[in-house]
Structure 1
Amino acid sequence: MNIDLTGKVALVTGASGGIGRGVAIELARQGAKVAVNYLSSVQGAEETVAAIQAIGGEAVAIRADVTDVAQINDMVAQVEKAFGAPIDILVNNAGHLVQRLANAEMTEELYNKIMDVNMKSTVFVSKAVIPGMKKLGGGRIVNLTSIAAHNGGGPGASIYAASKAAVLSYSKGLAKELAGDGILVNAISPGFIGGTAFHATFTPDAARQATIQGIPLKREGTPEDVAGAVLYLVSELSAYLTGETIEINGGMFMR
């Protein structure tokens, strides 16, 4: 069975680089029309669109803060207008550690920022696309969680880990809620993925090398590794799969 997404409309949040960019490009490679969401990196978003166009795909870049409900709703309307159809595929990729900070020093402001960018964005972008998916008679939602949801995260990342655990649990509940509408909801839990701003910002090289040595496959993952799992989840290959979480970590964490 081939993965053919021709005619499908996809929205990938946080797609100006890293995992989001890798996912957006692979969706387009399989025929989907892709909306590339970004917040601050217009250059990165334009590079993602250019990469898609270079392989003959169709894409648009749309700026929106996915922690702001009004901007989320406007973004979805822009996507539907740009491609002339509702969204078939949503990949809730936008997320951020924001800052490593011990709980003893945690502020309400930082707590809200972390929860909003990881959990609130997932909830309200999903809410915004559901009516269109129901009109289509089905759809696919893929939420990005993290290995941190299982192990509590690294130093100063407990709130981030909790937000990603919330995404994982929410995905299960949403899957039950939408199953009758033909909308499948699953999650992907990446481990140590290189080529992302996350580790470039928050992981010193010594820690990176030590982590890689602890991975059974002895390498860090790539955005393309994650994109492959996304393709599976949004294709007919996964037609009987919902409410599940796929772990992509090279054997670093096994359930």
Structure 2
Amino acid sequence: VVVVDVNADNGEATVDAMRTAGGAATFVRADVANTADVAAMAQTAMDTYGDIDILYNNAAVQLHFQDARAHELSEEIWDRTYGINIRGVWLCCKYVIPSMLRRGGGTIINVASPTGLFGLAPTYTAYSSSKGAVFALTRVMAVDYAPDKIRVNALVPGATETPLTKELFADQATRQSLLDATPLGRLGQAEDVVGLALFLAADDSAYCTGGIYTVDGGLTAV
């Protein structure tokens, strides 16, 4: 496994945990919005382990208190959000897919968000639309690369407690509104996402491509 993060401390900690559990892991520091970083990341992965069979696009940014309605949103926040949330996904695919083509197939999992499926106002213009773009990219790539035995799916966690959402969920009104909107009545944990991620990565999902798979406590069913 190659762990990629812009935060070296977080990335190294993840690698240490995986090695302690008996896995083989390598850390590469990279900004997924930076072409040179992504190209180097893909090359390091191939140099270390050979051709790549699974790509898990999980990097994202959610600038909760700087996102805004369209006419109030700054170009800086728009560009930063799209740079990571959609350009980053595309760049990782661009530099990893040639390796998958060489090996005769692979699977790509693009992590998206329920906010890309419905309008969440008034402060998610950049984030929601960037995640909607992830769905579109997932579908077109699924069709484009099906003949090459490369499967592409979107994994959609609901309101999940992670370092990215810590600041947002600290606001009790926001936290309660999410709890009220989630039929299972609780926020998700990273562990809730693992089973679906493993399914999409494994041969068990060999007939699945172009799909949008939610793990959201029923949020999008309401």
- Report the TM range for the smaller structure's normalisation: over 0.9
Aligned to 2:80: 113
Q: Does 1:159 align with 2:123?
A: no
- The 5-angstrom pairing of residues 69-148 of structure 1 reads 69-83=35-49, 85-98=50-63, 99-148=66-115
1:35/1:79 contact within 8 Å kept: yes
Quote the sequence identity (%). 34
Match of 2:156 in 1: 189
Shift of 1:225: 1.4
Tell me how far apart the structure 2 counterparts of residues 214 and 168 of structure 1 sit (CA, whole Å). Answer: 22
Amino acid paired to 1:73 = A
| Matched AA of 1:150 | L
Q: Give the Cα separation in 2 of the matches to 1:38 and 1:72.
A: 11
Listed one character per residue, the Cα deviations across residues 2-61 of structure 1 (whole Å, up to 9, x for unaligned) are xxxxxxxxxxxxxxxxxxxxxxxxxxxxxxxx111011x221111111110111001111
| TM superposition shift of 1:130 | 0.7
- In the other structure, the counterpart of 2:213 is 246
Q: Name the aligned partner's letter for residue 49 of structure 1.
A: V
* Aligned mate of 1:48, from 14, 17, 30: 14
Q: In the TM superposition, what is the alpha-carbon distance from 1:93 to its structure 2 partner? A: 0.4
Give the aligned CA root-mean-square deviation in angstroms.
Answer: 1.4
> Aligned partners of 1:236, 1:250: CA distance in 2, in Å?
25
Q: In 2, distance between residues paired with 1:234 and 1:163? A: 23
Tell me, in whole angstroms, the C-alpha distance in 1 between the residues paired with 2:172 and 2:103. Answer: 47
Secondary structure in 2 aligned to 1:124? helix
AA matched with 1:53: R
Paired residue secondary structure (1:101): coil
How far apart, in 2, do the equivalents of 1:155 and 1:201 lie? 18
Q: How many residues align?
A: 219
1:230 aligns with 2:215: no
Residue equivalent to 1:26: none
TM-score, normalization by structure 1: 0.82
TM-score (norm 2): 0.94
1:97 corresponds to which letter in structure 2? Q
Deviations 1:92-133 (A, max 9, x none): 100111333332321222211111110001111101111110
Structure 2 residue 31 is the aligned partner of structure 1 residue 65? yes
Could you say if the C-alpha distance between residues 249 and 53 of structure 1 is closer, same or farther in structure 2, counting changes exceeding 3 Å? same
CA drift of 1:154 comes to: 4.7
Equivalent residue for 2:146? 179
The offset of 1:149, in angstroms, is 0.4
Q: Which residue of 1 aligns with 2:182?
A: 215
Q: CA deviation at 1:142?
A: 0.3
1:22-41 equivalences in 2 (<5 Å): 34-39=1-6, 41=7
Contact 2:67 2:123 survives alignment (8 Å): yes
> C-alpha deviations, 1:47-100, integer Å up to 9, x for none?
1111101110011110011101121111100111122x0111000100111333
**CA 1:154–1:55: 2 relative to 1, 3 Å:** farther
| More off after superposition, 217-226 vs 174-183 | 217-226
Once structures 1 and 2 are overlaid, which stretch shifts more, 44-53 or 166-175? 44-53
